[in-house]
Chain A
Amino acid sequence: MSPSPASEAVYNRPNYLTADRGVRSWLTTRDHKRIGVMFLVLTAAALALGGFFALLIRIELLTPGPTIMDAMTYNRMFTLHGVVMIFLFMIPAIPGIFGNFFLPLMIGAQDVAFPRINLATVYLYLLGAAIAVYGMVHGGADTGWTFYTPYSTTTTTKVAPILLGAFVLGLGSILTGINFIVTTHTLRAPGLTWHRLPLFVWAIYATSVIQVLATPVLGMTLLLVTVENVFGFGIFDPARGGDPILFQHLFWFYSHPAVYIMVLPAMAVVSEVIQTFARKNMFGYKAVAYSSLGIAFVGFFVWGHHLFTSGQSAFDSGVFGVLSMFVGLFTAVKVFNWTATLYKGAIQVSAPFVYIVGFLFYLVFGGMTGIALATVSLDVHWQDTYFVVAHFHFVMAAGTVMAFLAALHYWWPKMFGKTYAERPALVGGFLVIFGFAATFVPQFLLGNMGMPRRYYSYPERFWPLNVASTAGASLVAIGFLIVLVNLVVSLAWGRVAGPNPWGSKGYEWNTPSPPDKENFPGTPVFTHGPHEYQEPVPAAAEVTHAA
């Protein structure tokens, strides 16, 4: 698609990257696009750190006994891996980077509703990360990222700073959520009705609802554990009448919906990429849009499936189990609509699309094992084994990473105006996708054989599969390196992308690449839905700019 006349007219104006210069202009920016880029740098660094911890864990598990670290260090490593990946990468990554960058562009707005608060979220992220990293350097924590009481309240490791860091990160997450909700409600351009919103916006909106409603509960819970750890108020301490199970309820009331904070933005990306690379309108637009809200809603009533073996009554477990399966229903609605969109589409197999195929595999396979785990009688057997580890790494980790990489490749030309080399991108993509399978399929088998999670050593008979898993992890690492080098190289030597290298009909592609500092020369007026490929409308009517 050629750039719309309006964007051609402004094509030689300085873009958001070049409009202001100097470090100071970045540190004080209120431009949602620059904030998105800052989150890209920060969360990518967090991904590297968390991945480094993951590799150390896998190397340690290469042999049944001690390999490179002692048991205590191992405990710290899996805790830090979890904390970094969840709070510093998976929760903030896609909303922070792509939500910030593209949500305003997609709704025809000049910025998010509260640009200053948006900038504050960057600093809250930095502050939270700094506090957490301080705790990691000075002692670390050995509780696992779940901080289960009473162990987390009695351990001598530095739990308190890590909890406080997570609290600050949570505050940033809440503010991001509020910002996106208010932006979607108040800043949609004329003509952009709810049913014309891109599906990306729908899913980010649903994510924001969870962030706003669930995160405060986690915040208070983390504070309670901190108070308990430092002062010993006894709120979760059985010796003083406290109930550790109460912690589990409060913790999972956030942390289960948090899984959807991670996976809904991934689904947001999938909808966009699939439409662009299949050259088709979304099949069942409304079903996909509302299923995001469905997941957000049901997600609040399923936390009890983490407590099947914690003494919860059989009736409660049954109810939570059945409710959990509703999430599978809404997810299935999305998956079927995505595949129906691909059906008879003019599919273009490029790097972003390859990642989406990877995403679908991991989501469906991981989701099906999730349905199995939500069945109480089966879960009792698998509880706290590698089967659970493999399940949530398929859905959450692989799912989020696939969508993150798909989004990165898909929107890279828009964000930086350069195209990357396709062949290395595909090689990196295949390594990451197959690496994840090679890492976690053996873990499914190990878990089913009875290998418990978070154990430092294991019997000889688990050895071969652990070697396979570590080999897979190194494939993922190599894949990530190729992706990183390829993208960074493209910044300097990549071809100029032009406004719309994919020929997409998503709204955000109606801007120059990189976009102007002021997103649009005037207020855009929308006359039809996003990604309308089948019923071409005259070019002039697509997105006109009223002065």
Chain B
Amino acid sequence: MQPETQAARLAHHFPDLRTQENAARLGMWLFLATEVLLFTALFTAYSVYRYLFVHAFDEASRLMHTGLGAANTLVLLTSSLTAALAVYYARRGQARRSAVLLAATLAFAATFMVIKAFEYGHHFHEGQLPGRFYTYPELQLPGASMFFTLYFLMTGVHGLHVLIGMGVLAFLMVRTLRGGYSTAYSTPVELGVLYWHLVDLIWIFLFPLLYLI
């Protein structure tokens, strides 16, 4: 596919491309704000229950596999680096490098999900499950099941965001390979990667809250 011409890309209601791209950017930042607030409800619930069940949360967080959590943190942080570099090369018009870096980001994202699946499998096996499904015999404190309710809700919603992010990255990769972006036009890559950074950022808060403290 040929790169679209500047005029074809300008929607009829915008005065110029710069304004159009700034509008898209502002829209994306507002959307990211709503995502943060979506998670805020969960973080609030976590704070309240951690305060109510200090001991149980302390014990339950020791059941987490810190090594796997740390590995996943490393994976996601690296994926943010490759994603940021993809934007850098997209802006410089080096589509091939940009696409390779997006592919690397996708691979890291998939690795994250695989590791997460192993962790989930382990918790399922042990009966460390939310609410009424909680059957783990070695930790029977009031509030222990609540820890796993929150664990599965928070990591579940986050995992869903990783999957959506993978869809976005894959779309951007295909478009990049088909020559959809150039030095003059790389805003979609920038916006998609912004979303990916948010997914990463939320994990940076989830990891210490659920695994470390």
Q: Which residues of A contact B (CB under 8 A)?
A: 104, 109-115, 174, 177-179, 181-183, 185-187, 212-217, 219-221, 224, 227, 231-235, 237, 240-243, 246, 249-250, 518, 523
A182 contacts B146, CB within 8 Å? Answer: no
Residues of B within 8 A of A224 (CB): 41, 45, 153
Q: Are B131 and A217 in contact (CB under 8 A)?
A: no
List 20 A-B pairs, Cβ < 8 Å: A110-B12, A113-B27, A174-B34, A182-B23, A186-B19, A187-B14, A212-B33, A216-B37, A219-B38, A227-B153, A232-B131, A233-B132, A234-B130, A235-B131, A235-B146, A235-B149, A241-B145, A242-B146, A243-B49, A246-B45
9 other A-B residue contacts (CB within 8 Å) besides A112-B13, A115-B11, A243-B48? A113-B23, A114-B23, A178-B31, A178-B34, A224-B153, A227-B153, A234-B145, A234-B146, A235-B45
B48 touches A246 (CB 8 A): yes
Distance between Cα atoms of A240 and B134 in the complex (Å): 10
B13 surroundings in chain A (CB, below 8 A):
104, 109-113, 115, 187
Contact between A215 and B34 (Cβ–Cβ < 8 Å)?
Answer: yes
Residues in B with CB closer than 8 Å to A110 are 12-13
A interface: dominant SS: helix
Closest Cβ of chain A to B188, distance in Å, is 14
Decide if A241 touches B44 in the complex (CB within 8 Å). Answer: no
From residue A457, how far is it (CB to closest CB) to chain B in Å?
Answer: 36
Shortest beta-carbon distance from A187 to chain B in Å: 7
B3 within 8 A of A: no
B183 within 8 A of A: no
* B88 contacts partner chain A, Cβ-Cβ < 8 Å: no
Q: Nearest A residue to B37 by beta-carbon distance?
A: A216
Say yes or no: is B40 at the interface (Cβ < 8 Å to chain A): yes
Our pick among B19, B31, B42, B130 for the contact of A220 (Cβ within 8 Å) is B42
Give the residues from 1 to 32 in chain B that come closer than 8 angstroms, CB to CB, to chain A: 11-15, 19, 22-23, 26-27, 30-31
B142 at the binding interface (Cβ < 8 Å):
yes
Closest CB-CB distance, A441 to chain B, in whole Å?
A: 38
CB pair B40 A217 closer than 8 Å: yes
| A-B interface contact total, Cβ < 8 Å | 117
B35 at interface, CB cutoff 8 A: yes
Q: Is B124 an interface residue (CB 8 A)?
A: no
List residues of chain A with CB within 8 A of the CB of B157.
220
Interface residues of B in 152-174 (CB under 8 A from A): 152-153, 157
Give A109 to B13 CA distance when docked, in angstroms: 7
Residues B146 and A181 in contact, CB atoms below 8 Å apart: no
B207 within 8 A of A: no
Q: Which residue of B lies closest to A236 (CB)?
A: B45
Contact with A along B122-157 (1 / 0, CB 8 A): 000000001110000000001101100110110001
Q: Are B15 and A241 in contact (CB under 8 A)?
A: no
B52 within 8 A of A: yes
Taken together as a complex, chains A and B put the C-alpha atoms of A226 and B143 apart, in Å, by 21
Given contacts A110-B13, A227-B153, A241-B146, contact A187 B23 (CB under 8 A): yes
Contacts of B145 in A (CB 8 A): 234, 240-241
Contact between A240 and B132 (Cβ–Cβ < 8 Å)?
yes
**Judging by beta carbons under 8 Å apart, are A216 and B35 in contact?**
yes
Residue from A109, A112, A174, A182 whose CB has the most chain B CB atoms within 10 Å: A182
Q: How far is the CA of A185 from the CA of B12 in the complex (A)?
A: 17
Interface string of B101-140 (1 = CB under 8 A from A): 0000000000000000000000000000011100000000
B38 close to A241 (CB less than 8 A):
no
Q: Which residues of B contact A518 (CB under 8 A)?
A: 12
Q: How far is the CA of A518 from the CA of B12 in the complex (A)?
A: 9
Instruction: Report the Cα distance A234→B13, complex, angstroms.
Output: 50
Q: Cα distance A249–B52 when bound, in Å?
A: 16
Measured in the bound complex, the distance between the Cα atoms of B146 and A182 in whole Å is 40
Given A212-B33, A233-B149, A243:B15 Cβ within 8 A: no
B53 within 8 A of A: yes
- B53 interface neighbour in A221, A234, A241, Cβ under 8 Å: A241
Contact of B131 among A186, A216, A234 (CB under 8 A): A234
Q: Is the CB of B153 within 8 A of A235?
A: yes
Q: What is the minimal beta-carbon distance from B22 to any residue of chain A, in angstroms? A: 6
Q: Determine whether the beta carbon of B131 is less than 8 Å from that of A233.
A: yes
Report, nearest first, the 5 A-B pairs whose CB atoms are least far apart. A234-B131, A110-B13, A220-B41, A233-B131, A111-B13
- Evaluate whether A181 and B40 lie within 8 angstroms (CB atoms) in the complex, with A187-B13, A246-B48, A523-B15 already known: no
Residues of B within 8 A of A215 (CB): 34
B131 cross-chain contacts in A, Cβ below 8 A: 231-235, 237, 240
Q: If A110-B12, A234-B130, A235-B146 touch, does A212 touch B34 (CB 8 Å cutoff)?
A: yes
CB neighbours of A232 from chain B (8 A): 131-132
**Cα–Cα distance between A253 and B37 once the two chains are bound (Å):** 11
Name the A residues within 8 Å of B142 (CB-CB): 241
Candidates A109, A182, A235, A250; contact of B30 at CB < 8 Å: A182
Q: In the complex, are the beta carbons of A186 and B22 less than 8 A apart? A: yes
Complex CA gap A241/B145 in Å reads: 9
Residues of A near B146 (CB, < 8 A) are: 234-235, 240-242
Q: List the A side residues contacting B41 at CB < 8 Å.
A: 216-217, 220-221, 224, 250
B37 cross-chain contacts in A, Cβ below 8 A: 213-214, 216-217
Chain A residue numbers with a CB within 8 Å of B22 are 186
Nearest A residue to B142 via CB reads: A241
Nearest A residue (CB) for B39: A220
Which residues from chain B contact A174 at a C-beta distance below 8 Å?
A: 34
Q: Report whether B38 and A220 are in contact in the complex, using a CB–CB cutoff of 8 Å.
A: yes
* A518 and B11 alpha carbons, distance in the complex (Å): 13
Determine the distance from Cα of A241 to Cα of B157 in the docked complex, in whole angstroms. 22
Report chain B residues within 8 Å CB of A249: 44
- Bound-state CA distance A231–B130 (Å) is 9
Indicate the member of B19, B37, B44, B143 with the most A CB atoms within 10 Å.
B37
CB distance from B39 to the nearest CB of A (A): 8
Report the nearest A residue to B150, measured CB to CB.
Answer: A235
Q: A241-B143, A241-B146, A242-B146 are in contact. Are A233 and B19 (CB under 8 A)?
A: no
Question: Least Cβ distance of B66 to chain A in Å?
Answer: 24
